[in-house]
Structure 1
Amino acid sequence: MTYRNVDLEGVSLGYRDTGTAGPPVLLLIHGLGASSATWERVVARYRDRLRIVALDLRGHGRSTWTSSYELPDMVSDVSRSLQALGIPRATVLGHSMGGLVALLFAARCPEQVERLILEEAPPPLPASPPRDEGAHPEGELDYDWNIQAPFSRQRNHPDPLWWDQLAGIGCPVTVIRGTDSHIGAGSVRRMVDVLADSNLIELAGGHDLHTECPEAFEGVLDEILADPH
């Protein structure tokens, strides 16, 4: 697997790419504070069957630290990265914040999304309880902490259009939620009900299912990726 950067107008994104066995392509989008490295086990399991591309979102990994961390900008980054890499369509797996980015990406760029897998993705509804928009940890971080405030703001006060766009997502969507998740079950089920072609799977675990219960998580992925839909 190679680890390099794709240079887009205004930002450079790190990405890991198996460069083999595709199409089909599996695009992996990590959560807040993580990087493409979080998917190491998933990559090892599926690299012989699929071309796998794992992005570093702006402000994470080897990607540019920027002045803007708006979710629509991240959606644009994902779309432009696939275009730059010559990938017309992909199955997209997003975790947490990366799942919300993937969800908005499917709504805005449906022609680029084959199917969607959302791991512990927050629905585009006001966070309950509200996220703290001002906290800052001590010490050094390996991602840009300046992303925290804008992400929390967008979680607390999401654009109402984001919710309205969900009904237009036509690709198959699998929503994976942990039974001990901090994301409310009611809001997740509301999202599943709005999505046209979706199903909800709950696993015994918390927020980081792909690392907390990898065997169960990969069992779900096995079924999804084996389905030609």
Structure 2
Amino acid sequence: MIRPSLWLHGASLTCATWRKVIDGLPLAQTPNLPAVETDARVEAYADMLQPLAPDGAVLVGHSLGGMVALELAARTRPAALILIEAVPTVVDTFAGRLAGRVLPAVLKRIPPRHLAGLTGVGEPKTVARELRAQIPHWGADAIADQMRAAAAYDGRGRLSKIAAPTLLVRGTRNRATRRGMNALATGIVDSELLELDGGHNLPLEMPETVRVQIDAFLTRRLGSLQQIRQT
């Protein structure tokens, strides 16, 4: 049997985030975050994606996708959970609460192609190129919805429910997620924290390194890479 894995991208990005990371994983599923017709919330994304996350799957999420993966892991029995540059909530800080109120409204006024250019400033060329390719996939309203969902989520109460071995990956150049990732490391009993010399968009910046580290973790914790390729 082939063990499934589910890979969830961050806000304003797409499933192409994982294109260079999932080579050789025949049952890796990389959906775009679904459109939510009513209130865009992490819980609503998890409701729609839960059929893709059966017990025994490996769940991987980046940024907002990490919030969704966290929510799914609390509802199911994954073999492993991997959270990349993700936090359980932003409502625990004044800056996070303020951004949650202001940022979605601002993003609705910025054409996605312009947003791609703005978010690419200061990023490595490979990352900036991917941002220009991926962000215009969405309309401004969809991007605002994703940011609103991330700003509203509070997964701190879910951390004690995570029993699966968990790998937390953060970039040393992004201090914005440091507090939240420390909270994940403290709250998830069976977790390991790994730092890579990169920024927020690690799957785009260093996909090969991310994959090597995920493979090493799964080999160490599940016994063999065959746990996600073939058993």
TM superposition score category, shorter chain reference: 0.7 to 0.9
Q: How much has 1:57 moved relative to structure 2? A: 1.0
Question: What is the TM-score when the length of structure 2 is the normalising length?
Answer: 0.74
Partner residue, 1:114:
79
Counterpart amino acid of 2:7? L
Per the alignment, in what secondary structure is the counterpart of residue 167 of structure 1? helix
Counterpart Cα distance in 1 of 2:194 and 2:112: 37
- CA RMSD, 1 decimal: 2.3
Q: Shift in Å at residue 185 of structure 1?
A: 1.3
Supply the AA of the counterpart residue of 2:5: L
Structure 1 residue runs without a partner (length 5+): 1-21, 60-64
Matched, 1:142 2:137: yes
**TM-score (norm: length of structure 1):** 0.74
Q: How many residues align?
A: 192
Residue 58 (structure 2) aligns with: 91
Match of 1:203 in 2: 196
Offset at residue 56 of structure 1 (A): 1.4
Please point out which of 25, 28, 32 is paired with 1:56.
32
Answer 1 or 2: which has greater strand percent: 1
Correspondence list, 1:73-84, <5 A: 73-82=44-53
Shift of the alpha carbon at 1:208?
1.0
Give runs of aligned pairs for residues 1-229 of structure 1, distance below 5 A. 22-44=1-23, 46-47=24-25, 50-59=26-35, 66-82=37-53, 87-107=54-74, 109-111=75-77, 113-126=78-91, 128=93, 129-130=95-96, 131=99, 132-135=103-106, 136-138=109-111, 141-159=136-154, 162-227=155-220, 228=222
Maintained 8 Å contact 2:55/2:76:
no
SS in 1 for 2:170: strand
Q: For 1:173 and 1:139, how far apart are their aligned partners in 2?
A: 33
Deviation at 1:27, TM superposition (A): 1.2
Cα distance, 1:103 vs. partner? 0.5
> Distance between the aligned counterparts of 2:110 and 2:16, measured in 1?
22
Higher-helix-fraction structure: 2
1:90 positional shift: 0.8
Partners of 1:71 and 1:101 within 8 A in 2: yes
Any unmatched runs of 5+ in structure 2?
Answer: 114-135, 224-231
- Please give the secondary structure, in 1, of the residue aligned with 2:30: strand
| DSSP-derived class of the 2:137 partner | coil
Q: Share of identical aligned residues, percent?
A: 25
